[in-house]
């Protein structure tokens, strides 16, 4: 089913995980293996280019490979068989050394690593773009007041720039995390049948070094056939990143509700409409991101449970990765791309944000008044006095400032000028500006370092 691919996925990543691209990644391993074994003196130097020349995915029928994989248990077995046939047509002696010393999992794991290397580069580019967009938004709206909300209720004044800085700070961490784990986890897999490279005898380590150099991959200390922490850490990190993308989408969609209307996804022909309600402006990108954020945790859980593998080759656990991992990368990369595309055009209604601060008729400033009174009356008496005034303001549908102005308990403690100041949103933003400055400075220093 491909109807929803453009909604949930990103073509640049889907191309990397297409059937043809996967076959080509396995063939890249086979070609590199031949060159490495020629360098190490395992096969004749003349054999390597003959084998490498046959390693072209367009010479392989993916449907035939799929049918044969259903019988053999993996796609590498029929692929190596077909590759051997192609090489044999050119040179019978060279055909003897196709896939020499390797096992199916070597080709398949390394092939996936090569795909992940490409995909995570695309992810990094979109993270970089998202960071730039969020930094721009945070700076632009650093002094734009908006209601902070806890438990879905108005709490205190904050700024929209502060909210965006929180999103930004998390995304910076995700980019750093993914960058760090790429260097550690995108390694060569090459161990032969049981991980010991027994077929290659004493020349195994030299072939492994040469193979790693050919593929520009780090060489691990030992093959990792049934130790899947590298793969699962990448999946888990993408799941973490998607969790933050989902949080951003959730926040935006709440701010975009009709009754709040502080934010809106960009309008456009055919975008966000309804089949029956002409007035609708639905947050399509938010829905896409949230759908992915609901789906991926279960997929990450699948990989976590698949780590418990048997001895030197997993039975079922390894196989559970084959479709699950690409799905995680595809959904995460798609959500990231769609959000990074939408956010530069996000509609921000600063006037509506300011108007909504008065939705509770001044109750949002109750803590500010309590704090000021607490310095003079003590915390508990001040709290009880303001709490009583809030109840009265609600019951009489009056502004809290007017109720407090008439309260005899305030006489001698708060002047009319004090009250005016306490109900000024700019007077109760705390350290929001300082926190924004810190996050933006971190982004700037990271960009300079890179």
313 an active-site residue?
yes
- Which of 129, 313, 398, 405 is catalytic? The answer is 313
Q: Judge whether 433 and 144 are in contact, CB under 8 Å.
A: no
**What backbone torsions phi and psi does residue 148 show, to the nearest 5 degrees?**
-75, 145
301 an active-site residue?
no
CA-wise closest residue to 410 among 388, 429, 436: 388
Q: How far apart are CA 365 and CA 61, in angstroms?
A: 69
Q: Judge whether 245 and 293 are in contact, CB under 8 Å.
A: yes
If residue 109 lies in a helix (H) or strand (E), which one and from where to where? Answer: helix 104-140
| Cα atoms found within 13 Å of the Cα of residue 319, Cβ hemisphere only | 12
Q: How far apart are CA 171 and CA 244, in angstroms?
A: 7
Q: How far apart are CA 381 and CA 384, in angstroms?
A: 5
**What backbone torsions phi and psi does residue 151 show, to the nearest 5 degrees?**
55, 35
- Which of 46, 176, 179, 274 is catalytic? The answer is 274
Q: What is the greatest pairwise CA distance in the chain?
A: 104
Q: Which residue shows structure tokens 């938010």? A: 286
Task: Name the DSSP letter for residue 267.
Answer: P
Number of H helices, E strands in the chain: 19, 4
On the 0-12 / 13-18 / 19+ scale of CB atoms within 10 A, 180 is exposed
Give the residue numbers annotated as catalytic, written as ranges.
274, 313
């Amino acid at each position: 089913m491909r109807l929803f691919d453009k909604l949930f996925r990103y073509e640049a990543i889907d191309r990397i995980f297409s059937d043809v691209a996967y076959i080509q990644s396995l063939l890249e391993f086979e070609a590199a293996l031949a060159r490495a074994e020629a360098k190490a003196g395992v096969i004749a130097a003349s054999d390597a280019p003959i084998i490498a020349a046959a390693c072209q995915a367009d010479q392989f029928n993916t449907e035939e490979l799929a049918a044969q994989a259903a019988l053999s248990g993996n796609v590498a077995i029929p692929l190596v068989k077909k590759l051997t046939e192609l090489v044999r047509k050119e040179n019978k002696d060279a055909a003897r050394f196709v896939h020499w010393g390797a096992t199916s999992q070597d080709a398949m794991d390394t092939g996936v690593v090569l795909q992940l290397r490409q995909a995570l580069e695309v992810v990094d580019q979109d993270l970089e773009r998202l960071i730039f967009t969020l930094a721009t938004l945070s700076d632009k709206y650093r002094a734009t007041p908006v209601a902070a909300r806890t438990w879905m209720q108005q709490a205190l004044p904050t700024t929209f720039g502060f909210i965006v800085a929180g999103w930004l700070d998390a995304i910076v961490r995700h980019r750093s995390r993914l960058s760090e784990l790429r260097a550690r986890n995108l390694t060569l897999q090459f161990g032969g049948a049981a991980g010991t490279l027994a077929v290659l005898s004493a020349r195994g380590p030299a072939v492994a070094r040469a193979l790693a150099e050919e593929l520009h991959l780090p060489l691990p200390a030992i093959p990792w056939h049934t130790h899947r922490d590298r793969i699962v850490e990448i999946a888990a990190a993408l799941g973490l990143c998607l969790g933050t993308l989902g949080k951003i989408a959730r926040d935006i969609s709440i701010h975009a509700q009709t009754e709040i209307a502080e934010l809106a996804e960009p309008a456009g022909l055919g975008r966000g409409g309804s089949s029956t309600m002409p007035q609708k402006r639905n947050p399509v990108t938010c829905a896409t991101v949230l759908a992915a954020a609901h789906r991926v945790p279960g997929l990450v859980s699948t990989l976590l449970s698949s780590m418990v593998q048997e001895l030197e080759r997993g039975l079922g656990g390894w196989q559970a990765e084959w479709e699950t991992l690409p799905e995680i990368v595809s959904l995460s990369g798609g959500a990231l791309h769609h959000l990074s595309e939408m956010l530069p055009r996000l509609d921000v209604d600063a006037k509506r944000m300011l108007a909504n601060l008065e939705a509770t008729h001044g109750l949002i400033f109750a803590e500010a008044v309590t704090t000021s009174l607490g310095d003079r009356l003590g915390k508990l008496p001040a709290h009880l006095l303001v709490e009583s005034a809030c109840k009265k303001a609600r019951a009489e549908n009056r502004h809290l400032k007017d109720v407090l102005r008439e309260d005899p308990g305030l006489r001698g403690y708060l002047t009319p000028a004090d009250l005016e100041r306490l109900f000024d949103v700019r007077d109760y933003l705390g350290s929001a500006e300082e926190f924004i400055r810190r996050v933006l400075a971190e982004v700037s220093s990271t960009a300079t370092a890179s």
